[in-house]
Structure 1
Amino acid sequence: MKKRFTLLLLLIFVPKIDAQEYFPNNESIQHHNTNYTAFTNAKIVVSPTQVVEKGTLLIQNGKVVAVGNNVTIPKNVVVVDLNGQYIYPSFIDLFSSFGIESPKRVSRGSDPLYDTRKEGHYWNEHIKPETDAYANFSYNNDKAVELLKAGFGVVLTHMNDGIAQGTGTLVALNNEDQTHRLLANKLSNHFSFSRSVTSNQAYPSSLMGSMALLRQMYYDMDWYKKGNSNTKDVSLEALIANENLVQIFDANDKLNSLRASKIAKEFGLKYVLKGAGNEYERIAEIKGTTASFIIPINFPEAFDVSNPYQASQLDFADLLAWNQAPTNLKVLSENGVSFALTTDKLKKVDDFRPNLLKAIQYGFDKTKALEALTTVPAEMLGKSNEIGSLKVGSLANFLITSGEIFDKKTIVYENWVQGSKYVMADRATKDIRGEYTLNLNNVTYKWSVKGEQNAPASTLTLSDSTKVNSKLNVTNNWLSLVIKGKDSTTLDFNRLTAYLDGNSTISGKAIAFDGKEYNWTATKTADFEKKKDSAEADKNIVILPVSYPNLAFGNTEKLKQEILLFKNATVWTNEKEGILKETDVLVKNGKIAAIGNGLSDNGAVVIDAKGKHITSGIIDEHSHIAISNGVNESGHNSTAEVTIEDVVNSDDVNIYRELAGGVTTSQLLHGSANPIGGRSAIVKWKWGAAPDEMLYKDQPKFIKFALGENVKQANWGLNNPTRFPQSRMGVEQVFIDYFQRAKEYDASWKAYNSNKKKGKAPRVDLELQTLAEIINKERFISCHSYIQSEILMLMNVAEQFNFNVNTFTHILEGYKVADKMKEHGVGASTFADWWAYKFEVNDAIPYNGPIMHNAGLVVAYNSDDAEMSRRLNQEAAKAVKYGNISEEEAWKFVTLNPAKLLHIDDKVGSIKVGKDADMVLWSDNPLSIYAKAEKTIIEGVVYYDMTKDESKRAAIVKDRNLIVSQMLDEKNKGMKTQEPKKKQKAEYHCDTLEQ
């Protein structure tokens, strides 16, 4: 039965438009109108750049037959005289789930394994490109009416669920003719970074996992396409079959758009990116993607800031978003970004037109607006000959309006789709709004008619100022006024009727309870006074400039390199010269150009550093700040394929706070949820730069491993998912198994590449490829560790496969095995004095770092915490307190030593001519609790300046008050507002799991 039902669906949804004409119609007498309809005396907008004045539009069989000034009107034609009204092409929405039932979310829980009942499909259930929208489509008249009222005639609909979501279907919103609605059954192929709600498969559990899965999917697709697989995969076959369709990616964030674009470029793809409305915040990078976009216009509502305490809880970035978001379309347009508009993310479709008009008030060009709704989406779909314009041969999809479509006063009368009419307002209705004196039976009333022209509202007032409850209706130029409630028994009449002939005086009949009729007359005394358009007021609103990043402490311009000359400073070189007194440092072209006395440069900004200290920037070997949507990919016990480089978050205010604490470089590590975690990202904290600009150039390759309680899920709780391993001996077996597999994988590729005859290629496996890099000594391990037995275990496993562990991080029992670590050649990145925050840390001692240092190990102190990273200078001082380490050597714990562990000490970590000018000017000895970072410099750019920080704080207060006052004005005008809510920002730690 199931097979027969599927076949029936396939028969119903076939691509040719006329293919359903043979279907029987048992519900009504079938009639197909083949007559011509001619719309005359209209201003016809054939396309956004082609307008016909006083023209004629001729349609037949749902298509445009002719358009212009000299159209010959044939016989057998219905002529509609529009008397100067306008005709526009109907709109197109490229991102919709219209007619698609929302997928049912599975019950909570997680399973690391693939459901074997789905054999023959891709190994990951969040990849389901075999899903076809047309097979799940059911036309929804009510939803269609909502879209028709908003001006839409065609939608591209798809199942918005999963990472590879399947194909989209192009549908005409034709409520009359069901046989011609389907314009194309497979026109687009859809993707996102979001898991499917219909699967409990645990992987991926993070954004970086989704990105890695997409990469693996494309590699698998290519491998399968070349005939290398011995098994059938329905999902990969669907990907291959649909690779020439329009590829639409739901990025849903400005940074995610950059990430999706990155994947597209890696694999030679061309995504149409569905954005979020915040593209203006990174417009240079958005433009640099060269992608086309689909943009929502779900502008945030103002906050109700009448309560000062609640208002103070609002994030400054949210206030900025309300102030700036309506400029997004203008900014995109002015930067030459091609985009279509969508109703997606709107609370209700009715908000589309008001929001679009608001964007126009904020400077968005009207012609560009019409293009974004018609010709641009049609071109994106390759359907310009069918939709998006009114040229000959196009579908008869058009709007009839009273005036320019983006004029707020304009009434949209009708929306025609494939020649079928949907009426929103009566075109013939006269505008009777105004103030009147109404006479009836020698009694005079005041009558006020207000509201919208096509939906007027009336107020009838007696001579004693009593207002009468009434309801006014105007249809086909017939007026009907009904007296409601108890008022109907106190007057001589309960109904008024009249025919509207366009005169300023209205006359008609009044009907009394006893059926008697009386004549009444209403004489206009004043024209309708339109309320000042709230959108007009927006013209005068102050729009704050976008900053980089666009939040508190951002810079209104991107910072530039300077020539800097520091005079008479105490310089901590971290080199053989040691600490130099009364010394000058010259910074030029982003490098340390000279160190000495009496230095000069005519183009330099001279800084008096007398009594102050200059050091190299602090380097944090272990950090988790500035990471988007997950620090752990916890879905598998090995996730070597994921990389933090994909998910650097340039909009984290912690970056600025790091700079204020003198930190210039950090290694962003994957968490410790699994034995083999993800690849690292070494970043320089270039505040305001894009994520990829923060990545350390040509950085060494690192990966995070982990031991201990976290990886065996000791603290995950009884109700949380469990997976192998769940014991320390299981952790060791994971390492051995994966390295053996990686060794065999590497051998298979080497054998394939050396075989001239080739044959079937091995499958590219990003996970094993990464692990093979470790075996081949091309990638370094930084391993989360505590217990001495496990530390020894991993070193033994590494030696078994002939490589060394690079760094043990945390390593709080390192003092017990320092001699073995020295013998192995591993470094240590530890805490100064954290202890007892879980069972395996009970043996931690504050002398750990100094003991390992004295044993000859390279030792660093790290933060692993957003708060501690702001005071790593004080953490370094603890080495002096607890280990009697010299100040100079203790300072290296947070500068030169982590640089050595990260293999970047040739460029950073000390003050040396030729090295990167990553420096900090301190007010005092950097190990002192009184020391403040006055300037933090990266490659000659001052990214933090304590003096400028004070002015930034004052500017934030000023701008905040400005926006709050604007929001108060919004509320006073009766506009919608939302309740202020304080955002709880997640701070990632090693064991943080995404919800």
Structure 2
Amino acid sequence: MKYKLLILGLFLGICSMQAQEYFPKNDGVKTRNTNYTVFKNARIHVDPQALIENGMFAIKEGKITAVGKSIDIPKNSVVIDLQGKEVYPSFIDLYSDFGIKKPEKANGGYSPQYDATREGFYWNDHIKPDTDAVDHFSYDAKEAEKLQKAGFGVVNTHVADGIIRGSGMLVALTPEVSEGDRIINENSSQYFSFDKSVQSRQSYPTSIMGAMALIRQVYLDAEWYAKGNSDNKDLALEAFNQNKDLVQIFASDDLLNEFRADKIGDEFGVQYVILGSGNEYQRLEQVKTTNATFIVPLKFPEAYDVEDPFLANQLSLEEMREWNQAPSNLKRLSENKVPFSLTTHSIDTEKDFKKNLLQAIEFGLTKEAALAALTTVPAKTIGQEGKIGVIKKGAWANFLITSGDYFDKETTLYENWVQGEKKILNSKDVTNITGNYELLVDGKTYELEIKGEISSPKAEVKLGETKIGSKLSFDNNWMNLLLSSTDTSRADFIRLVANVPAKTENISGKAILPNGKETTFRATKAKNKSTDKTDIDKKDEKHREIMPLSYPNVAYGFRTRPEQENVLFKNATVWTSEDEGVLENTDVLVKNGEIVKVGQGLSAGGARVIDATGKHLTAGIVDEHSHIAASAINEAGHNSSAEVQMEDVVDPTDINIYRNLAGGVTTIQLLHGSANPIGGRSAILKLKWGASAEDMIFEQAPPFIKFALGENVKQSNWSGSRFPQTRMGVEQVFTDYFSRARAYESSKGDDDFRKDLEMETLVEILNGERFVTSHSYIQSEINMLMKVAENFDFNINTFTHILEGYKVADKMKEHGVGASTFSDWWAYKYEVNDAIPYNAAIMNDVGLTVAINSDDPEMSRRLNQEAAKTIKYGGMSEEEAWKMVTINPAKLLHVDELVGSIKTGKQADLVLWNDHPLSIYAKPEKTMIEGTFYFDIEKDKELRKQIQKERNELIGQMLKEKNKGVKTQPVEKKEKQRVHCDLLEAVK
């Protein structure tokens, strides 16, 4: 008999194992409840708009089966009375790495890595679309509880590593079920970023523009691969194509990067969901044009500790404004109808989530919009509308039970149900004793304030104006309150003990006095007393006035964007930079952004008249070689980076734009650096302060690219082993790449032709469709590059720096190349030992088009003085010297038909000087671009006063925050890096 029972037991055990998908890690077998559970008498927030008072809903097997004012209660239902409680849908976080082990950093090495480490995958290790979150996921109960306490029931998690990161998974934070039961969608989305994988040391890319170019190339290669053009299997491209119909989420950590991500999406017809920065309020108009849904971190900067006036002076207005304005970001997004969800990414969920959420509401975010951002918006974004984020029939039973309005600071979250499984966070049976009381004990009346969480409240006690030391414990509805004696010289205490019944307004119990005598106490809830302190707090909060935005939102930004004007300059000394030379007592009429008349006795014709008597009017200065207004300068990962473009990394918030305008500069060529022989594509910009990066692009300018020669590209002063390491190698790089470009162009008719962004750019050079500006110093290399170009039937357009140009000026003229040089830089490194300050004049005398450039953010706003140096060094005339910073660089950039001189029909890029423009005493009073004043010295004076006033107001606000006991952060001096050709920017 025992034998038969044993066989039966084994049989049943085997059947049990076959039927069971998963063995729980905890003891015992967990079975899902298949009965109905009905909740009644609840205040049900069905969704952000719909509310049912005193409603009911039923759940079964993890789903909601019915909801309404009244529903039929199925037989054998478990009924839970939620009288006085509120029910909300559980929250959803779309950007998480929950349950994913942090990727380990690749082993270090001293030599750079250029090739990929994975065989059978894409040529770049940072492209990892084949990564599936489900393969790396392991439920983390501890982290899950933190999210559950914040109200979350579902997260979209992924492996946060790489530029293209693979697919994420939508997982429910269901306690004590199998991994499979938790997964709502194992391929919910594909993730992107501009950050490299920590698991690879592969050098490329080293910049944001390199990352952007790489993503573009992946899109092109994936399309090519999908057509069956490759003989080799590429698992990364296959995965990328498989994931292309998923929700595409792009992680950015910067407002400008949000726009850069959207730019890539627009180019390839992809609408990204964008992980935002929290600074969207600074460019709301541009944010709206992305048509993206944003995932916004619920993170706000702390106030700075500005008690030390010296340290306070180190704090930028931009940083101060961000603290002041950031909490209003969500309100502004909501008011502008920009769809967004919220994420716990980059914050401490337990400490900061609820606090920051309530702060956003204090700053104007409505509770309905807040709830939508946590429920219905993320559900719709991830393709789960009606299934999660709502309390409706057929949806997952993901809901919260609270003591009241969730968005009230004192509200307690009792339970978080996920897929019908209950997670108890605080007992519903615990009495809520928080509030303000009038405490009467031993003939004295105290003020008692109990605050904090219901399960672990804290007490503050005052007797008159004296604060009394106190310690409160509250367990199983028993309250113990210890009061210190008002006599600080005595260690006497009053002990209060009471059992607090549910739904009570008053508390009474036993009091034990310091002498051991027992008596009673009574604490009467003071419903109206709390308003005094609350009103004071609200009054204090009103002192934190939100500072108005400016464009850009930094010091010297415009409160309202400047507008184009029709202007008549009267009686000016006009430096035409044309054959007419300098004209005395001359008028210039500007209409619709163009110069329409130059002469004497002109009438206004409705234009604004500016008396320029005794002043000098010139064309705006053109800087042929600049590195201002850029978020990156070099893509140093390869010896050719012709695929990257400086237009991708224009930074319209760079204060050097404004400073250059104050120096009379209106147009610049933003050049790639000199990290490699073949650099990146240039961006030619109009310095329209306050405009977007796209609006600063000089649309009519032809395309350029930066080449480089000499010490930098052969890495003389850098640690590296990348080819080339010699000047001979530099020549070979050019020969090799242009040979490849010819072969590439000849293959364009082939059926399996693969578009290559790098080769496309080089073909443009070969065909004369893109001009070359080359960083250069010594005569041998200048000769070399001209010969290479001639061998491939194209010309170098400009040699920049060119400090030995005076040695080969005749050969340069024969080649047809111009020169953009420094006025008097020499001996700052070995290859400029032969530089002389007469260089510009000598090249000019030979007949070259010569410009003076800056390559420096300080020199660029004093280019008028740099031009003046050519008069001393070389005896140039004033007019010819002035042309070196106006019409000559315009000619080098092939925009001389549009800018660079004062001539009828040209764009109205003009500068009004208070003195001779070549004088060290001269200051631009007004700087105009296309008829719009972007700098005005009188407005600048007003701005300085406004900035000082705003700084003082913000410092006062921060001091008030510190005095209220709010945590502050220390001031750290941040010096903006001065940008030159050799600056290397590392992608994270």
2:511–2:520 Cα contact (<8 Å) kept? no
- Aligned match of 2:300: 299
What's 1:690 paired with?
692
CA contact (8 A) 1:41 1:55 kept: yes
**Partner residue in 2 for 1:586:** 589
Aligned-pair distance for 1:431? Answer: 3.4
Alignment of 1:174 onto 2:196: no
Aligned-residue offset at 1:494: 8.2
1:847-906: CA deviation from partner (whole Å, max 9, x where unpaired): 000000000100000000000001000111111111111111110100000000001101
Task: Say whether the 8 Å CA contact 1:112–1:636 is kept in structure 2.
Answer: no
Residue 942 (str. 1) matches residue 941 (str. 2): no
* Cross-structure match for 2:789: 798
SS of equivalent residue, structure 1 residue 287: helix
Residues 431 and 500, structure 2, Cα contact 8 Å, conserved in 1: no
Structure 2 CA distance for aligned equivalents of residues 156 and 20 of structure 1: 29
Match of 1:99 in 2: 99
Q: 2: CA distance between counterparts of 1:861 and 1:499?
A: 84
| Corresponding residue SS for 1:665 | strand
Is contact 2:568-2:588 (8 Å) kept?
yes
1:358-369 to 2 correspondences below 5 Å = 358-369=359-370
Other-structure match for 1:755:
none
Q: Does the 8 A contact of 2:506 with 2:523 survive in 1?
A: yes
Which one of the candidate residues 915, 920, 932 is aligned to 2:906? 915
TM-score normalised according to structure 2 size: 0.93
Instruction: Describe the shift of the 1:763–1:453 C-alpha distance in structure 2 as closer, same or farther (beyond 3 A).
Output: closer
Match of 1:679 in 2: 681
Deviation at 1:58, TM superposition (A): 1.0
The answer as to 2:31 corresponding to 1:40 is no
Aligned counterpart for 1:544 among listed residues 516, 539, 547? 547
Q: CA deviation at 1:147?
A: 1.1
Aligned position for 2:14? none
Deviation at 1:681, TM superposition (A): 0.3
**CA deviation vs aligned residue, 1:161-186 (integer Å, no higher than 9, x gap):** 11001111111112232352111111
Which residue of 2 is the match for residue 237 of structure 1? 238
- How far does the alpha carbon of each residue in 1:450-496 deviate from its partner, in whole angstroms, 9 at most, with x for none? 22260223579999x99786441133x34456899xx9x99999894
Match of 1:14 in 2: none
Question: Matched residues in 2 for 1:218 and 1:244: separation?
Answer: 13
Residue of structure 1 in register with 2:371 after alignment: 370
Note the 1:269-348 alignment, pairs <5 A. 269-348=270-349
Distance 2:694 2:448 in 1: 62
> 1:149 matched to which residue of 2?
149
Match of 2:659 among 643, 657, 660: 657
Secondary structure class of the residue paired with 1:778: coil
CA–CA separation in structure 2 for the residues paired with 1:50 and 1:183: 25
Q: Partner amino acid for 1:960? A: R
Q: Distance in 2 between matches of 1:932 and 1:321?
A: 32
Do the aligned residues in 1 keep the contact of 2:468 with 2:483 (CA within 8 Å)? no
- Measure the CA separation in 2 of the matches of 1:466 and 1:767: 72
Local SS of the residue matching 2:917:
coil
Distance 1:935 1:527, change over 3 A: same
Instruction: Look up the SS of the partner of 2:46 in the other structure.
Output: strand
Structure 2 CA distance for aligned equivalents of residues 900 and 30 of structure 1: 79
Q: Quick one: which amino acid aligns to residue 279 of structure 2?
A: N
Letter of the structure 1 residue corresponding to residue 77 of structure 2: V
Pick which of 526-535 and 352-361 moved more.
526-535
Instruction: Tell whether 2:948 aligns with 1:957.
Output: yes
- 1:639 aligns with 641
Is the CA contact 1:166–1:190 (under 8 Å) kept in the aligned structure 2? yes
Unaligned ranges ≥5, structure 1: 1-18, 753-758
| Structure 1 residues 743 and 562, CA gap change in structure 2 (3 angstroms) | same
Q: 1:817 to 1:449 in 2, by over 3 A?
A: closer
Cα 1:511–1:39 shift into 2, 3 Å:
farther
CA RMSD of aligned residues (A): 2.6
SS at match of 1:936: strand
Per the alignment, in what secondary structure is the counterpart of residue 534 of structure 2?
coil
Q: Residues 417-459 of structure 1, C-alpha deviation per residue, up to 9 Å, x if partnerless?
A: 11222233333333335546577xx999979462226022357
Structure 2 residue identity aligned to 1:310: L
2:576–2:901 contact (8 Å) kept in structure 1: yes
Aligned: 1:416 with 2:407: no
Partners in 2 of 1:661 and 1:30 — Cα distance? 75
Partner of 1:782: 773
| Paired residue type of 1:295 | V
2:510, 2:521 within 8 Å by CA — same for their partners in 1? no
Report if the CA contact (8 A) 1:686-1:943 is conserved: yes
Identity %: 56
Q: Please list, as runs of the form range in 1=range in 2, the aligned pairs for 1:6-405 lying within 5 A after superposition.
A: 21-25=20-24, 27-109=27-109, 113-115=113-115, 117-179=117-179, 180-405=181-406
Compared with structure 1, are the counterparts of its residues 30 and 428 closer, same or farther at alpha carbon in structure 2 (3 Å cutoff)? Answer: closer
1:798 corresponds to which letter in structure 2? A
* Inter-partner Cα distance in structure 2 for 1:890 and 1:968: 53
1:25 Cα deviation (Å)?
4.3
What is the identity, as a one-letter code, of the residue corresponding to 2:555? A
Give the total of aligned pairs.
956
Q: Tell me the SS of whatever aligns to 2:860.
A: helix
Residue 737 (structure 1) aligns with: 736
Asked if structure 2 preserves the Cα contact closer than 8 Å seen for 1:112 and 1:203, the reply is no
Question: TM-score, structure 1 length as denominator?
Answer: 0.92
Gap change, CA 1:535 and 1:293, over 3 Å in 2:
farther
- 1:590-601 to structure 2, matched below 5 A, reads 590-601=593-604
Counterpart residue number, 2:5: none
Partner secondary structure for residue 873 of structure 2? helix
Instruction: Output the CA distance in 2 between the equivalents of 1:944 and 1:561.
Output: 13
CA 581–23 in structure 1, closer or farther in 2 if over 3 Å, else same: same
Cα deviation code 1:950-977 (max 9, x no counterpart): 0000000000101110111111111111
Match of 2:722 in 1: 723
Whole-angstrom distance in 1 between the partners of 2:508 and 2:404: 29
Match of 1:624 in 2: 627
Instruction: Provide closer, same or farther for how the CA distance between residues 147 and 632 of structure 1 changes in structure 2, counting only shifts above 3 A.
Output: same
Q: Distance in 2 between matches of 1:890 and 1:882?
A: 11
Alignment of 1:438-517 (within 5 A): 448=448, 450-452=450-452, 454=454, 455-458=456-459, 470-475=471-476, 477-479=477-479, 496=497, 498-503=499-504, 506=507
Cα displacement string for residues 179-218 of structure 1 (whole angstroms, at most 9, x for unaligned residues): 5211111100000111111111111001110010010111
Structure 1 residues 481 and 740, CA gap change in structure 2 (3 angstroms): same
For residue 879 of structure 1, give the secondary structure of its aligned residue in structure 2: helix
| Conserved? CA contact 1:624–1:990, under 8 Å | yes
Deviation at 1:409, TM superposition (A): 3.6
Q: 1:849 aligns with which of 832, 840, 843?
A: 840
* Cα displacement (A) at 1:525: 4.5
For the 8 Å contact 2:305–2:971, the answer to whether it is kept is yes
Deviation, 1:544, is 1.2
One-letter amino acid of the structure 1 residue matched with residue 864 of structure 2: N
C-alpha distance in 1, partners of 2:649/2:696? 12
Distance 2:711 2:113 in 1: 22
Amino acid paired to 1:370:
L
Structure 2 letter corresponding to 1:951: E
Partner of 1:883, secondary structure, is coil
1:569 is matched with which residue? 572
Instruction: Select the residue among 881, 893, 898 that pairs with 2:884.
Output: 893
What SS does structure 2 have at the residue aligned with 1:47?
coil
* Unmatched segments (≥5 aa) in structure 2: 1-17
| Partner Cα distance (1:118, 1:521) in 2 | 77
CA distance in 2, matches of 1:480, 1:406: 29
Quick check: 1:877 aligned with 2:903?
A: no
Equivalent residues of 2:342, 2:374 under 8 A apart: yes
Distance 1:462 1:989, change over 3 A: closer
2:453 and 2:862 map into 1 onto residues whose CA distance is 65
